[in-house]
Every structure is written in C-alpha cells, then in structure tokens.
Amino acid sequence: MEELDDRTAVVTGAGSGIGRGIALVLAERGADVVVSDIDPGAAQAVADEVRSLGRAAHAIPADVTDRVSTDALAAVAVERLSQIDILVNNAGVGGAPGWWQRSNPSPEDWEATYDVNVIGIVNTTSSFQDHLKERRSGRIVNIASGAGRRGTGGFAHYSATKAAAINVSQGYALQLAPYDINVNCVCPGLLWTPLWEKIAERDRIKSGETVLTGRQVFDRRLEASTPLGREQTPEDVGKLAAFLASGRSRNITGQSINLNGGSYMN
C-alpha cells in the first residue's frame, strides 16, 4: 500500500528508536525521506536503510534547540527534494546527560527537556511553515507521549513537556488550518527504545531492584498497565504517523491520538 507515493517527508530525531521506525514506515508507504538527527552517523545509517527500500533519502544533521540549525535543515531539505509535504517532529529527550541516574530531576533536566521536547517543535515548525503555507498544503505530526496526558511521579519534567507538546500542536493546528495544513499529535505508550531503556534503568535504580534487569522492569510495568498485554513498537508509531500524513486524514487536525494498548483511554 503505497499511500505516500510522490510525497516527501522530514523526520527529526530519526537516528534511532521511534524516529527510525517512522522514517522506515514512511519510506515503505512510498515517501522520500530527510532523516535528521543531532548524530550525523546515526542519521546516515537510517538514510541508508531508507534507500534500501527503494526511496530517496538524505541525512541532514540538525539540533532542534537551535533555530539557526532548523532553518538550515529546512533550506537544505527543500533544495534537495524541491518540496516538503510532511514534517514529523519526533526529536525528544528524557533529561540532561545522566538524567536516568537521578532519583529526582535537576534544574538542568527541566531545561533540557523543555528545549528539545517543546522548543524543538516550535523551532522546526517555524522553519518549515512558510514553505508549507506557500504551497497551501502539508501534514505535521508531532510525537508527544502518554506521559503528557497525566502527571508522573518523579518524572514531572518530562510529562510537563509532553503536555506542552500536545497544547502547542493544537495551537499550530488552528494557526495553519487556513493553509490546509493539518497538525496532529501521537501519544505513544510503552516502547522498548533507547529512551525507555534509560527509564527502566532509572526505575530499577530508584526502587533498589537488584535482581531484575531493566528489560524485566519494563515487562513488569507493561503487564501491569496494558490491557492488550503487548508493547508498542516504533513501527506502530510509524503506521499511525503515515496515516496522519496521508490524504485519508484530511479532516483530522488538532488531535492527540493515544497509541498505548489501552493503558488509559480518553
């Protein structure tokens, strides 16, 4: 099902985890992809995977916390692909370096998560919006989190930024609707990604767990909280992002869609 034929996409934070999954699914559905990540080597590796699927791919490093960097990303992406149809703001962090080793978030953790998880969306969207508005067409998909739906003890810095990402998405949906640009959010639940490996390790350290591994801590939480009884995957997120990026979602905007196996419903 090549529902994104002749479409072009930019995915931030695409060097691993959810971003990699999104980039690969978009390519499988027919899109050419700009793979952007702060790590140039990781971006290049995923771009190579996209090319192996028969789609054009460009690895363009960018730091979403720096508007100069996102402006450059937009300029190079448009130069190489002529037009951009889809922007996926996926880049995200759990805190400042070493955050998983702290039982409570530091001021640096608050600052780092806000800079990437919120300002990163604002910077990148701002850098691309003039191009999308000029074309009077586009799809923006922001990756938030189920954590943005409710507070999380000891992890409020992350939850707060994901709640802000949901709100920012609604604001952009209203602002860009007159240009036929749809803006939506995906709120994933439990995924075993590099970020979640650190979350599980943090929880293991905080609880004093000495027997279970981080993966076992993750599995125990999954079993206790997810009615469908299975974890979500980057591919699952990619499939939902692809739907929101397609013509089938033309009347969906300003929405935040849970992808969590039923762990909570709203």
Residue 136's contacts (CB-CB under 8 Å, 6 or more residues apart) are 179, 180
Q: 197-230 burial string, b = 16+ CB within 10 Å, else e? A: ebbbbbbbbeeebeeeebeebbbebbeeebeeee
- Residue 136 domain-assigned? yes
- Residue 83 domain-assigned? yes
The model's pLDDT over 116-129, given as tens digits with 9 standing for 90+, comes to: 999 999 999 999 99
Question: What CATH number is given to the structural domain containing 25?
Answer: 3.40.50.720
- Residue 3 domain-assigned? no
The model's pLDDT over 42-86, given as tens digits with 9 standing for 90+, comes to: 999 999 999 999 999 999 999 999 999 999 999 999 999 999 999
**Higher per-residue pLDDT: 8 or 265:** 8
**What is the domain extent for residue 45?**
8-190+233-259
pLDDT computed for residue 37 by the predictor: 98
- 114 is known as an active-site residue: no
Identify any residues that bridge with 183 across adjacent strands, giving them in sequence order. Answer: 140
Task: Tell whether the model's pLDDT for residue 252 goes beyond 90.
Answer: yes
* pLDDT bracket for residue 265 (50, 70, 90): confident
- Residue 164 domain-assigned? yes
Both tokens of 166, joined, read: 């949901």
pLDDT computed for residue 2 by the predictor: 58
Q: CA 237, CA 257: separation in Å to the nearest integer? A: 10
The three-class DSSP label of residue 185 is: strand
Identify any residues that bridge with 32 across adjacent strands, giving them in sequence order. Answer: 8
- Residue 103 domain-assigned? yes
- Residue 81 domain-assigned? yes
- Residue 265 domain-assigned? no
- Residue 33 domain-assigned? yes
Task: Tell whether the model's pLDDT for residue 1 goes beyond 60.
Answer: no
CA distances from residue 90 to 27, 64, 193, 210 in whole angstroms, order as listed: 16, 10, 13, 33
Percent over 90 (pLDDT), the chain = 82
The model's pLDDT over 83-107, given as tens digits with 9 standing for 90+, comes to: 999 999 999 999 999 998 888 899 9
Our count of domains for the chain comes to 1
CA distances from residue 48 to 58, 214, 218, 230 in whole angstroms, order as listed: 9, 30, 31, 30
The average pLDDT across 209-238 equals 91
pLDDT computed for residue 87 by the predictor: 98
114, 158, 172, 264: the active-site residue: 158
The model's pLDDT over 123-179, given as tens digits with 9 standing for 90+, comes to: 999 999 999 999 999 999 999 999 999 888 788 999 999 999 999 999 999 999 999
Q: CA 258, CA 232: separation in Å to the nearest integer? A: 11
Both tokens of 265, joined, read: 């419903």
The model's pLDDT over 172-221, given as tens digits with 9 standing for 90+, comes to: 999 999 999 999 999 999 999 988 888 888 888 878 877 888 889 889 98
